[in-house]
Amino acid sequence: MSSIIQLLPDHVANQIAAGEVVQRPASVVKELLENAIDAGASDIKLICKEAGKTLVQVIDNGKGMSVTDARLCFERHATSKIRKAEDLFDLHTKGFRGEALASIAAIAHVELKTRQDQEELGTHIIIEGSKFMAQEPSVLPKGTSFSVKNLFFNIPARRNFLKSDVVELRHIIDEFQRVALAHSNIHFTLYHNGSELFNLPQSNLRQRIVNIFSGKTNEKLVPIQESTEILSIQGFVGKPEFAKKNRGEQFFFVNDRFIKSSYLHHAVMSAYEGLLRDGLQPSYFLYLTVPTHTIDINIHPTKTEIKFDDEHALYAILRSATKHSLGQFNVAPILDFERDFNLDTPYSYQNKEAETPTIQIDSNFNPFQEEKKTATGSSFGFKPKKEAQPQWESLYVGLKENFEPEEMHFESEAVTSSLFSDHEVEKAPTSTYQIHKKYIVSPIKSGMLIIDQQRAHQRILYEQFLTNITVHQASSQQLLFPLTLYFSGNEMAILKELKPSLESTGFIFEALNLDSVVISGVPVAITESEVPIVLEQLISDLQDEIPDSSFSQMDSMAKSMARSLAVKTGTYLTEKEQENMVNSLFACKENSVSPFNKPTFITLSVEDLDKKFSI
């Protein structure tokens, strides 16, 4: 009987390994940027075409590679970072397993150009699907240029699973931002399809955060700093009033490596307890430094998860440091009844020395000299008060001795709480009732209807918005003063993509800048105060996926706006509002379910009620 177990060829093994390392173009971006950082580069350029599907190129001015290293770096498990297994617990670099370049070369066309500073000529290597096509010396600048073209060209099934260019570009921007935030001492540049998206010069942490997220990020940040034997923390947390519904601006860095940790996130959220409304998420940029032997970063292929030796201690320190920072800058209340906030030194003046006041002495002053009263002022330079009017009685000359005011008449004004008079309301019999500010009960011939007011309103608004978007006949109301809203780079990219559809609903945009949008008109159904809520909810709903087809995009927008503007559970509705909602619901094309496929009403027949009483 022949054996059925066989060794896989190297190119097949590399393709299988690529499935763990390279999931999308953003994975290639992450690996190449980390290699450039490990090479000691101070200037890194990232160039992408068609969201990385056609080209991902990283150019750095690092130390480069020799001819032998340039060839060996594409072999499996070839690395310069570790020599023995114990080195895995004392890592000071990014990549260390030696799988990334071999996996990338197995599923793409790769071109490597590199030269060391002391060498006159560099090395130029071309690889297609793990096959070396060419290797020759070339005249090259110092550093390394790594180009990855036609990703997944030999695995069509993997390529078909890639999302639209907008979504894949957003994943690339996310990886770029994570690396750039961790290394503010490096100049990063990002180009996509020939246009510059980011240009981040060398700066401090605060300036790097502001350069990436722009807008009013600077005024949202509260500094945090704590140093202990097992953990050092520095960075910034956001003020509670700037919290959002999405978790887009939350970053943990451990030893300059971006990680995801729900446990540490819970520590930060517990520090905000009592400061945030339900459903809101604060922003934070926290840089943690721990001894390398106390963590294990080799537990996940993407190295975004880390195992700590003592998580409980880290939790306590992070929570207390965050709470202390919020209290120190008067963001959170403190229980100090003897403290007078008026006597606190402002933050901008804490490190400044007090200015000594100057004293001016009048050497000619004689306290025994009689004070000269002049019209212009006294001897001390103060103007004298004006004397009282001596003939004040003359002001009342000509008035009647017995002054009696005439009878005064006021126009009566009836104040009503509704647009309808009392006798009109009495004429109309009550046909609907509201229960617990959540359900609307309406009698019908066979029994009664019980309507969920929030879901019913979502269905009504959804069909209205969808009709306005598709027919392009939405009416707008002009704002007296244009409304300026600030968003991050990722959020602005989504808004630019959705601008035509938003204009169809009634929005009027005066300008879309790099970090802000100016709105001069809004749909009739939206008030000015609701505009930020609607747009933030829309961006949050479409953060992960923007549909390719125009109809799917319109459908997603209509659902998001209907969810934001629908009446919530706990809202009191008048009888007229209840009747209008019932009539509008049954005028919809699909009135039985909400836009999210949940029932809007149920029917209770008289027979059902009789059965309840027959028990």
Three-state DSSP string of 69-99:
HHHHCCCCCCCCCCCCHHHHHCCCCCCCCCC
Mean pLDDT of 605-615: 83
- Note the pLDDT of residue 342: 62
- Note the pLDDT of residue 186: 93
422 versus 187: the higher-pLDDT residue is: 187
- Note the pLDDT of residue 146: 92
CB neighbourhood size of 6 (10 A): 6
Mean pLDDT of 125-139: 89
Interior/surface letters 193-228, b for 16+ CB within 10 angstroms, e for the rest: eeeebbebeeeebbebbbbbbbbebeebbbebebee
Does residue 47 register a pLDDT over 90? yes
Which of 47-56, 320-329, 344-353, 588-597 is least confident?
344-353
Query: Tens digits of per-residue pLDDT, 11-45?
Result: 666 666 665 678 889 989 998 998 899 888 999 99
Using DSSP's 3-state secondary structure scheme, residue 264 falls into helix
Does residue 493 register a pLDDT over 80? no
Letter for the amino acid at 355?
E
| Confidence band, pLDDT 50/70/90 cuts, at residue 381 | very low
Mean pLDDT of 306-328: 86
Percentage of the chain exceeding pLDDT 90: 20
378 versus 151: the higher-pLDDT residue is: 151
Q: Write out the H or E segment, with its range, that includes residue 13.
A: helix 10-21
Does residue 129 register a pLDDT over 90? no
Angle CA(158)–CA(47)–CA(194) in degrees, nearest 5? 110
Which pTM does this prediction carry?
A: 0.68
Query: Tens digits of per-residue pLDDT, 206-243?
Result: 999 988 887 678 888 899 999 988 889 999 999 888 88
User: What is the helix, strand, coil percentage profile of the chain, to 5?
Assistant: 35, 20, 45
Q: What is the mean pLDDT of the chain?
A: 80
Contacts (Cβ under 8 Å, ≥6 apart) of 418: 425, 574, 576
Query: Tens digits of per-residue pLDDT, 548-559?
Result: 555 667 788 788
Contacts (Cβ under 8 Å, ≥6 apart) of 120: none
- Note the pLDDT of residue 81: 57
Query: What domains lie within the chain, and their CATH numbers?
Result: 10-200 (3.30.565.10), 212-328 (3.30.230.10), 433-601 (3.30.1370.100)
- Note the pLDDT of residue 184: 92
**Under 8 Å between Cβ of 567 and 454:** yes
Query: Tens digits of per-residue pLDDT, 496-526?
Result: 878 887 888 888 888 888 778 899 988 887 8
Rounded-to-integer distance, Cα 34 and Cα 36, Å = 5
Percentage of the chain exceeding pLDDT 70: 77
What the block records as the tokens of 397 is 């000359």
Distance of CA 215 to the CA centre of its chain: 11
Does residue 339 register a pLDDT over 90? no
